[in-house]
């Protein structure tokens, strides 16, 4: 479990999962899983660090608006992050 302090009073607790998928949207590196590596690929595409393939442009367009931006990253993060009770 990761604990990230926000400001000084709030802590967000979450774990990162690896979700196997049958369809491939979100699976930018085509390894059959949607995980943090796909987020890295998507961020690299958005920041211009890599040239996206046609497949990656499709797989990274999670909100189906025909573009890749931070909104797609947020949706991809929401796929792999599972909120947990901090138990405080």
Cβ-based nearer residue to Ca ion, 13 or 25: 25
- CB closer to Ca ion out of 30 and 49: 30
How many of the other CB atoms lie within 10 Å of CB of 75?
16
Q: Least separation, in Å, of the C-beta of 51 and Ca ion?
A: 17
One DSSP character per residue, 57-83 reads: HHHT-TT-SSS-SHHHHHHHHHHHEEE
The residue to which tokens 């608006």 are assigned = 65
The binding site for Ca ion (CB under 5 A) comprises 27, 29, 31, 33, 38, 61, 63, 65, 67, 72
User: How far apart are CB 44 and Ca ion at their closest, in Å?
Assistant: 13
């Amino acid at each position: 479990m990761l604990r990230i302090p926000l400001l000084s009073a709030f802590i967000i607790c979450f774990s990162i999962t690896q979700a196997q998928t049958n369809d491939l949207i979100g699976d930018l590196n085509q390894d059959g899983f949607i995980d943090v590596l796909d987020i890295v690929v998507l961020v690299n595409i958005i920041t211009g660090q890599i040239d996206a393939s046609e497949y990656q442009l499709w797989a990274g367009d999670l909100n189906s608006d025909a573009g890749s931006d931070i909104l797609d990253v947020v949706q991809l993060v929401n796929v792999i992050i599972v909120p947990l009770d901090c138990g405080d």
